[in-house]
Structure 1
Amino acid sequence: MWPDNETERDFLNFSGVAETVAEIIVQAKGRPISIGVSGAWGIGKSSMIKLTRSAIAARENESGKKASDKYVFVEFNAWLYQGYDDARAALMDVIADKLAKEADSRQTALDKVAALAKRVKWLRAAKLAATSAASIYLGVPPVGAFGEIFELGRKVWAEGVGKETGDATKKAVTDAAKEAGELLKPKEETSPPKEIQALRDAFEQTLDELGITLVVLIDDLDRCLPETTISTLEAIRLFLFLKNTAFVIAADNDMIKHAVRKHFVGVSDDLLVTNYFDKLIQVPIRVPQLGTQEVRAYMMLLFVDNSELSDDDKEKIRAAMIDQLKRTWQGKKVDRAFVQSLGVKLPEHLVGQFDTAERLASLMTTASGILGNPRLIKRFLNALSIRMTISKAQGVGVDEAVLAKLLLFERIGDTAAYAELVKHVSASGEGKPAFLQEWEDAAT
């Protein structure tokens, strides 16, 4: 079985694209840059983000310092916050917390970080005030200490004041005062536009004093509900196009367009919808579609990764296959014969799995229900692995290549035709559909 997780080990020949993204960020030399990594769901955007981070971190600048001294990374997954926190506020918090840790470890820009945290708190408070007012208006209790006062107020209205209620009210008022004191510390007269500009100034000054470029990696945006997607994009806009910042945003363009369309109700003009996202993205990069060679290599590497080979042998095979994939335009091929030429002793069953990968590769690349999508390929192989395990547990001993054909028929074939086959198999005492006999005889 293979988990559906992103990886920093390149199985898809994405390292070249990741190196290009890293080069764009490095060559910007502190100038603001925003890069959009687009592609369909499951195509490998998250892995591309991980590979980009590794490519930047591996570099050294002219002074010989490690790139980690110059580039600080923030990874933000809006999908994880969905339903638990406002994505805009969450992103601001994550960035502020990361910079606070950097300032503490470097013992510099501590005052700048404190000013930045203060601005973030103010915007948090402004959001809280707006939420509380809206909640009361709509009859929905606010959250936090203010929510406790709201609930106690309703209780007093309904039941009168008893000792227990009075004590609870005192505690709630104290907590609310403390919460308000933390969030609303700035006493000077201010406004959202002033605070937003002050936040941007504090953010820019902090990065300048720390001497770093902040690389913000936004992932899984296309998994979010439209509201969360827009909220995250609006938060990105707060920090966008400031010195010493780089944003890498991984998302399916079609899903982003859908979110924008839902947000701006009544906007049907595709050009306007496209322009919204284009204003945020300076450099669009599309994750390359996998061809038959890449799909074959990917499946073979998945089989290698699940084998009992040593980690050194696995890495030797992976590195050689990716290097070979870079030369397929010269007529080089990644297949079983190539892997066997690497001098690694391969178990017999692994060689058999390589044969399965060779037979499946072209179908996995062209079948309308898969089209070379790495996530769907992995799911197909997981389904194949599970059914092979069930087969062995039942003592049936199905041929893996035959079972793979049946799974393909089930996934991408005609639904009615597959149902008809299952019906005939079930009706036969031996599990052999009689209507196939005539075809088999003709073939023989």
Structure 2
Amino acid sequence: MFLNDQETATDLLYYEAIAKTVVRLIGNTGEAPVTIGVHGDWGAGKSSVLKMTEAAVAKEPKTVCIWFNGWAFEGFEDAKTVVMETIVDELRRARPTSTKVADAAKKLLKRIDWLKIARKAGGLVFTAATGIPTLDQIRHVVDLASSVISSPQDHISMEKLRSAAKEAKDYLKEGKEEAERLPDHIHEFRKEFVQLLDAAEITKLVVIVDDLDRCLPKTAVATLEAIRLFLLVDRTAFVIGADELMIEYAVREHFPDLPPASGPIGYARNYLEKLIQVPFRVPALGPAETRVYITLLLAEAALGSVDGRFLALIEAAREDMRLPWKSRGFDHATVQQACDGAIPQPVGQAQMLAAQVTGILTEGTGGNPRQIKRFLNTLLLREAIAEERGLSSEIATPVLAKIMLAERFYPAFYEQVSKAAAADPRGIVEALGHLEDDVRGVASGGPVPAALEGDWAKNEWARRWAGIDPKLKGVDLRPYVFVTRDKRGVLGGLVAASHLEAIVERLMGPTLTAKGAADDVGRLPAPEAEEILEVICRRIVETDAFLKKPKGVDGIDVIVKKHPGLQRRVIDFLKGLPTEKLGAWAPTSWANTFTDQTVAAEFEALREGWAQSGNAALKTAAELTSKRRGR
């Protein structure tokens, strides 16, 4: 099952209310021009609202709707003239048999061609008032001459010289004559555009601009400047879908010398508010809306968008979301009633999954529809892989979803959890249980793990994540780490490269053999060294025999001495070993390994803990080692 991430005209979120309001507003403005903003974060559903708006506007008589995707024209030399040219061309295509439209469009396109010439001349349009050439203009003429002069003599053709002369002549003639009457030129452009609308017999032109917030600042501002040319033209409406914060950023980047604002609102926000007369904000989804959205997404993927049962679910969902604060979250009774008493199996499965992950996704994604959809795609894919591997019985969807939240939104934290799970012979991360109890105000028995005392307990994201159900206390996380890891590592078998496998075997051998691999280990890049370390730690853990010094401990010492940045990983490995099973080797095998003072202090604290343990052999070895260090 795959959930399409493209914008859709199928309303799963009851955004139709926003689209209908936009259409009604356009209709109520009469002939007056209007600019409407549909704002929201990336993935909030702006494009879907715009698609619904386009579909509704297209039904209006004598109305032409043009869709312009700013991102599609990223990289064009002059986005401003591209916007203008696109609008004129689309109007001409809307009335292909009209000679009046063709003639009016031709006049406008000629004016746009002049703007291109002025643009090529180095921004003459914007300095016409002073009559003084800009550096860009001078640079253009210099570049033009240099391109000819720099050619080897035998490669200068008469055609190249004629082209250079013609371009320079056009610059001197067209630029100077047109620049002297720039205000008239803009006025004539708007006048001829009205004539084009008259020729096309259009009562309203609606231009929908999407993905403007994905553009580079230069393209975004150029598109807005082109829209500004039409602001005083009657019978035009622009609907702009963009994250207003990204547009403000584009304005600040494009006009870096703006003075500080004298009032509470900055110049970048003032620019946007002057351009966009009516803003709409697409809201984030709450828990009830998220549950409905997940159910409908999965039901549509399973049944199809034209299936009568799915259409019945859509109607029931709209009624449920009409007053979201009263919503029951699309519960079993609501769905059963919509399906005439018999819930299809795919819909039942969708309901179950929605109930399991709604809380996690609402919290983790901030109610962003695109992030929810992508998260679900990844979740479904991994469950399918687990099923093919015969791991379905080992995987609980809510636990997998919670682990994936950490993977998606806090990779460093996820890595810590996955490594701790791999290092524990039961796959249990004790620190997580303590953290979950701490967040919920529940007292935990036993010593508090160092990870809880450090970053985890103080990190706000980790604490919020730990407070999400289900609890992971006492859960074997190894199957989940195996399913979620996208690269080979401690749970994915041996490293793939044969040269790394050979080094692993040597490091797992006797002391002299392990030390003999030191030079090869020193030549490894850091990621490969870390991968080898993880493989050796996994092999040691898998033996579940720690009374005698396990094979691979000397190899770990070799790796860390050549790659000191991995010292903390070894401390984490040692902390994860079962204290009651450890032999005397644990406190005595690391005489010169931990050169980092912070890590060395952590090892001393760990050794002191061993000295207080009930394991007699470990306790004695730890005490003796501490005494020798004290001398």
**What is the TM-score normalised by the length of structure 2?**
0.59
1:324 maps to 320
Q: Which stretch of the first structure deviates more once superposed, 3-12 or 261-270? A: 261-270
Q: Is the 8 A contact 1:325 1:332 kept in 2?
A: no
2:496 matched to which residue of 1? none
The reply on whether 1:38 has 2:39 as its aligned counterpart is yes
Q: 1:278 to 1:228 in 2, by over 3 A?
A: same
- Pairing partner for 1:112 from 104, 115, 123: 104
Look up the SS of the partner of 1:85 in the other structure: coil
Q: Is the 8 A contact 1:217 1:247 kept in 2?
A: yes
Question: Which residue number in structure 1 is paired with residue 381 of structure 2?
Answer: 386
Q: Percent same amino acid at aligned positions? A: 35
Question: For residues 380-411 of structure 1, what are the alpha-carbon distances to aligned partners after superposition, in whole Å with 9 as ceiling and x for unaligned?
Answer: 11221222133223321123233112223434
The residue type equivalent to 1:355 in the other structure is M
Separation in 2 of the partners of 1:307 and 1:44?
22
1:426 and 2:422 equivalent? yes
Distance 1:150 1:135 in 2: 15
Of 286, 306, 331, the residue aligned with 1:291 is: 286
1:22 aligns to what SS in structure 2? Answer: helix
Say whether residues 1:251 and 2:251 are aligned partners: no
- Give the C-alpha shift of residue 176 in structure 1: 6.2
Deviations 1:16-42 (A, max 9, x none): 111010001112222211111112222
Cross-structure match for 2:232 = 241
Asked whether the equivalents of residues 10 and 322 of structure 1 are also in contact (C-alpha less than 8 Å), the reply is no
2:89 paired with 1:94:
no
Partner of 1:354, secondary structure, is: helix
Query: Alignment length, in residue pairs?
Result: 417
The residue aligned with 2:215 is 224
What is the one-letter code of the residue matched to 2:201? G
Cα distance change on mapping 1:392 and 1:151 into 2, 3 Å: farther
Q: Tell me by how many angstroms 1:292 deviates.
A: 1.8
Q: Is residue 301 from structure 1 mapped to residue 302 from structure 2 by the alignment?
A: no
8 Å Cα contact 2:302-2:346 kept in structure 1: no
**Partner residue, 1:63:** none
Shift of 1:108: 3.6
Query: Could you tell me which amino acid in structure 1 is paired with residue 378 of structure 2?
Result: A
Residue in structure 1 matched with residue 355 of structure 2 by the alignment: 358
Query: Which residue pairs with 2:401 in the alignment?
Result: 404
Alignment match of 1:205 (pick from 192, 195, 198): 195
Q: CA deviation at 1:327?
A: 4.4
Match of residue 26 from structure 1: 27
Do the aligned partners of residues 414 and 113 (structure 1) sit closer, same or farther apart at CA in structure 2, a change above 3 Å counting? Answer: closer
Secondary structure at 1:40 match in 2? coil
- 1:188 to 1:404, Cα distance in 2 relative to 1, 3 A: closer
Aligned to 1:62: none
CA RMSD of aligned residues (A): 3.4
Alignment counterpart, residue 113 of structure 2, candidates 102, 121, 129: 121
Q: Which region of structure 1 is more displaced relative to structure 2, 189-198 or 353-362?
A: 189-198
What displacement does 1:249 show? 1.1
Alignment partner for residue 83 of structure 1, among 72, 75, 78? 75
For residues 104 and 436 of structure 1, the distance between their equivalents in structure 2, rounded to whole angstroms, comes to 67
1:319 maps to a residue whose letter is: E
Change (3 A) 1:299 1:17: same
Shift of 1:260: 1.9
Asked which structure has the greater RCO (Cα within 8 Å, sep 6+), the reply is 1
Distance 1:337 1:54 in 2: 33
Q: Is the Cα contact below 8 Å between 2:33 and 2:232 reproduced in 1?
A: yes
Q: Select between 300-309 and 228-237 the one with higher mean Cα deviation.
A: 300-309
Which residue number corresponds to residue 64 of structure 1?
none
Amino acid at match of 2:42: W
Cα separation, 1, equivalents of 2:32 and 2:135:
40
Matches of 1:236 and 1:310, distance apart in 2: 36
Read off the aligned partner of 1:71 and give its amino acid letter.
Answer: T
2:338 is aligned with 1:337: no
Once residues 391 and 327 of structure 1 are traced to their aligned partners in structure 2, the CA distance between those partners, rounded to angstroms, is 39
The AA in structure 2 aligned to 1:72 is V
Contact 1:19 1:52 in 2 (8 A): yes
Give SS of 2:241's match: strand
Conserved in 1, the CA contact under 8 Å of 2:46 and 2:241? Answer: yes
SS at match of 2:67: strand
The one-letter code sitting in structure 1 at the alignment partner of 2:380 is: S
Could you say what secondary structure the match of 2:64 adopts?
Answer: strand
Gapped regions of structure 2 (runs ≥ 5): 125-133, 434-444, 446-472, 476-631
Shift of 1:47: 1.0
Q: Does the 8 Å contact 2:320/2:330 carry over to 1? A: yes
State the Cα distance separating 1:355 from its structure 2 match.
1.5
Contact 1:74 1:98 in 2 (8 A): yes
Which piece of structure 1 moves more, 396-405 or 221-230?
396-405
What secondary structure sits across from 1:10 in the alignment? coil
Moved more, 277-286 or 109-118: 109-118
Tell me, in whole angstroms, the C-alpha distance in 2 between the residues paired with 1:4 and 1:357: 18
Gaps of 5+ in 1: 59-66
1:226 Cα deviation from its structure 2 partner:
1.7
Cα displacement (A) at 1:323: 3.6
CA contact (8 A) 1:82 1:228 kept: yes
Larger radius of gyration: 2
